[in-house]
Homo-oligomer: A and B are copies of this chain.
Amino acid sequence: MKILITGGAGFLGSLLARTLLQREQFMGRMPDEIVRADLARPAADLLSDARVRPLVGRLIEQCPAIVNEKFDVVFHLAAAVSAECEADFELGLRSNLDTTRALLDALKAAGNRPRLIFASSAAVFGNDPALPLPAIIRDDTLPTPQTSYGIQKFICEQLVADYTRKGFMDGRSARLMTVSVRPGQPNGAASGFLSTIIREPLHRRPAVCPVRPETPVALASPHNAIEGLIAVGESESLGGRIAVNLPALTTRVSEMLDALEAVAGKAARDRVRFEPDPVIARIVEGWPSVFDSSRALRLGLQPDPDMISIIRRFVSDHAITLGGT
Residues in chain A within 8 A of chain B (CB atoms): 89, 93, 101, 128-131, 140-146, 148, 151, 154-155, 158-159, 161-162, 165-166, 237-242
Q: Is the CB of B242 within 8 A of A131?
A: yes
Q: Is the CB of B140 within 8 A of A140?
A: no
- Is there an interface contact between B148 and A240, defined as CB atoms closer than 8 Å? no
When the two chains form their complex, are residues A240 and B155 in contact, meaning their CB atoms are under 8 A apart? no
Query: Do A155 and B165 touch (CB < 8 A)?
Result: no
Contacts A89-B166, A141-B142, A148-B166; is A128 near B242 (CB within 8 Å)? yes
Known interface pairs A89-B166, A128-B241, A131-B240; 5 further A-B residue pairs with C-beta atoms within 8 A, sorted by A's residue number? A128-B242, A142-B142, A145-B161, A146-B165, A158-B158
- Collect the chain B residues with CB atoms within 8 Å of residue A158's CB: 145, 151, 154-155, 158
CB of B130 within 8 A of CB of A240, answer: yes
Contacts of A239 in B (CB 8 A): 130-131
Chain B minimum-CB-distance residue to A163:
B89
Max chain B C-beta neighbours (<10 A), residue from A130, A166, A239: A130
**A-B CB contact pairs (8 Å), 10 listed:** A93-B101, A129-B240, A130-B238, A131-B239, A140-B142, A141-B142, A142-B242, A148-B166, A151-B158, A154-B158
